[in-house]
Amino acid sequence: MHYVDEGSGPTILLLHGNPTWSFLYRNVIKELQGSCRLIAPDYFGFGLSNAPSDFDFSPSSHASVVKDLIERLDLEDIILVVQDWGGPIGMSYAIQNSANVRGLVVMNSWAWEASIPQKLFSLVMGSWPLGYMLQTRLNLFARKIVPQGIFHKEKITDELQKAYTEPFPTPASRLPTWVFPRQIRLSRDWLRAIESRLHLLSDKPTQILWGAKDEPGFRPVEMRRWQSHLRSHRTEVLDDASHYVQEDRPDRVVAAILSVIQRTPR
């Protein structure tokens, strides 16, 4: 498993989604590495991480690996930063280890049974054989969906597109990007179980940072659901950000992390 581990200070764990990797947080890491310890893993099969031959790429399995990483690195007093699939993967750890979570930064994500639009997305992108072919043959998520999820189109350079497509050079390597949309439906019970325990995090200082241009991906209704669970939240809605907030407004991600640090003096 590849992960970035930079700087010293408060521990910040940065979790990505599909089909991204630690590269997504590069600008956040550059800004904060002088004052924080920033850990950004690449899930098995993403970025620079390989995967065991028997790994199933389900979100619950990714969550188990993240938990193992936290324990192996002996990470304590964590500020958890999540987006996309990082939401349920990170919250899976947080609800079981709330005493080790200092605070939360939540971007466009969810941690409960999928909505009808999300299930429809799953039915297409995670289907067999159509969705499978779209992901494994065309590398659709990395080639098309990532650029569509960035509001500031001037940031979509050849270098950026290469960074997100190169981790998936072969049809076999793209399998994880198909499993994730498929699991939107298949992980229903796991997602329900996470939501049932989100109340354990209601007192954690939280910054909700929401890209407003993420239709039809993660709408304001998902933001309000986070707010209902995480009562100690402060929310910032970004009118110039879409799904990949880290690409559109890394400066606000930095500000959100610093706000949690300030709200949780040690």
Q: Which of 62, 214, 233, 248 is catalytic?
A: 214
Q: Let me know if 16 is a catalytic residue.
A: no
Catalytic entry in 42, 229, 243, 248 = 243
Nearest-CA neighbor of 57 among 148, 164, 135? Answer: 135
**Catalytic, out of 16, 62, 84, 233:** 84
CA 77 – CA 266 distance, rounded (Å): 10
Q: Which long-range contacts (CB under 8 A, 24 or more apart) does 74-78 make?
A: 75/11, 75/13, 75/39, 75/100, 76/11, 76/100, 77/10, 77/11, 77/102, 77/266, 78/11, 78/12, 78/13, 78/102
Q: Is 199 a catalytic residue?
A: no
Active site (annotated) includes residue 84: yes
Contacting residues for 90 by C-beta, under 8 A, at least 6 apart:
13, 15, 66, 80, 81, 82
Nearest residue to 247 via CA among 180, 118, 167, 160: 160
- Measured CA distances, 261 to 9, 19, 42, 101, 103 (Å): 10, 29, 24, 12, 8
Residues taking part in catalysis: 84, 214, 243
